[in-house]
């Protein structure tokens, strides 16, 4: 004879199962640390996410600890208990091949969709290097969806910052291209800003510029800008629009051009000073 479970007991059992599932819920993050490396001009070799004890947004109790997801060509995947709206803090630390470490904080929302790192940052979020240098990071508020429609955050223009210092210019030539990032297929550049914080200088160099474009068209996105001149609050290049050199995926490069002497020896720089920040506003045509 089958033993019937009283209806109230069924309800309580079902509630217990639902509560267990709720407490176990996590948000999945999948991304590639190459975007971090491009921003800081370093090759990222590892990532560790640390956290302190807190009660998650879904009511789950989280014990302090850390996780170090494996990198595969820069790609990683990690699942975390949502901490958005709680006292909990996730600290992501990236290890660079240079020996530097870079740290930022994450706020993980409740999400049934896979998240990107940019969706875990607040607007104006900074990535901090262990020597005190800071980098402004792109941040995107996770888009809400309704019905069966899906909102793709890559369709929303985002600012990305790249910093190039004189130490990275070593070509035994008067020009050198530095890859900033890869614009995906159907990507659209909507704005470029160039501003140097320190003038570029070196023995026998009498002038120096930087332009933005592709490897085949070095001035396609921004013309040559003088980075030899003294920097100031108003000394910069800034332009907007909506354009792409091709609908195919391609590298966006900064081309540096010196007058008077080579940039370097092929392995070391001839320059003695200089640093420039380059911002690119881009999105995907959907």
Could you read off the pLDDT of 12-22 as tens digits, one per residue? 444 444 444 44
Domain-wise residue ranges, the chain: 28-144, 160-284
CATH of domain 160-284: 2.60.120
Q: What is the mean pLDDT of residues 243-261?
A: 92
Q: Using the Cα atoms of residue 49, residue 53, residue 57 and residue 60 in order, give the sign of their dihedral.
A: positive
Confidence of residue 140 (pLDDT cuts 50, 70, 90): low
Query: How far is the C-alpha of 129 from the C-alpha of 78, rounded, in Å?
Result: 23
User: Which among 213, 210, 285 has a CA at the least distance from the CA of 247?
Assistant: 285
Reported pTM: 0.52
First to last CA, the chain: 61
Q: What percent of the chain has pLDDT over 90?
A: 50
Q: What percent of the chain has pLDDT over 70?
A: 83
Q: What pLDDT is attached to residue 151?
A: 34
Q: What is the mean pLDDT of residues 136-148?
A: 50
Cα pseudo-dihedral 20, 56, 33, 276, rounded to 10: 170
Could you read off the pLDDT of 195-213 as tens digits, one per residue? 999 999 999 999 999 999 9
User: Which among 94, 45, 40, 90 has a CA at the least distance from the CA of 66?
Assistant: 90
Q: What pLDDT is attached to residue 218?
A: 95
CA 99 to chain CA centroid, nearest Å:
19
Could you read off the pLDDT of 4-43 as tens digits, one per residue? 545 555 544 444 444 444 444 899 999 999 878 877 888 9
Q: Which helix (H) or strand (E) segment is 12 a member of?
A: helix 7-24
């Amino acid at each position: 004879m089958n033993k019937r479970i009283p209806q109230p007991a069924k309800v309580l059992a079902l509630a217990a199962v639902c509560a267990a599932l709720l407490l176990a819920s996590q948000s999945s993050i999948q991304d590639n640390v190459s975007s971090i490396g491009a921003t800081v001009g370093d090759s990222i070799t590892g990532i560790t996410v640390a956290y302190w004890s807190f009660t998650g947004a879904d009511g789950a109790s989280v014990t302090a600890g850390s996780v170090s997801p494996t990198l595969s060509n820069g790609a990683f995947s990690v699942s975390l208990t949502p901490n958005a709206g709680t006292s909990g803090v996730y600290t992501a630390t990236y290890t660079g091949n240079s020996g530097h470490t870079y740290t930022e904080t994450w706020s993980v929302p409740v999400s049934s969709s896979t998240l990107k790192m940019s969706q875990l940052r607040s607007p104006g979020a900074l990535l901090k290097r262990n020597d005190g240098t800071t980098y402004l990071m792109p941040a995107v508020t996770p888009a809400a969806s309704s019905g069966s429609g899906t909102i793709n955050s890559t369709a929303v223009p985002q600012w990305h910052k790249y910093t190039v210092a004189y130490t990275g210019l070593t070509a035994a030539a008067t020009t050198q291209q530095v890859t900033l990032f890869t614009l995906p297929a159907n990507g659209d550049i909507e704005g470029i800003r160039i501003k140097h914080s320190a003038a570029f200088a070196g023995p026998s160099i009498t002038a120096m510029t930087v332009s933005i474009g592709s490897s085949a068209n070095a001035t396609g996105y921004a013309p040559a800008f003088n980075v030899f001149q003294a920097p100031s609050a108003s000394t910069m290049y800034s332009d907007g629009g909506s354009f792409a050199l091709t609908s195919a995926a391609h590298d966006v490069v900064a081309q540096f051009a010196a007058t008077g002497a080579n940039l370097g020896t092929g392995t070391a720089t001839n320059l003695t000073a200089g640093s420039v920040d380059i911002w690119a506003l881009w999105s995907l045509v959907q």
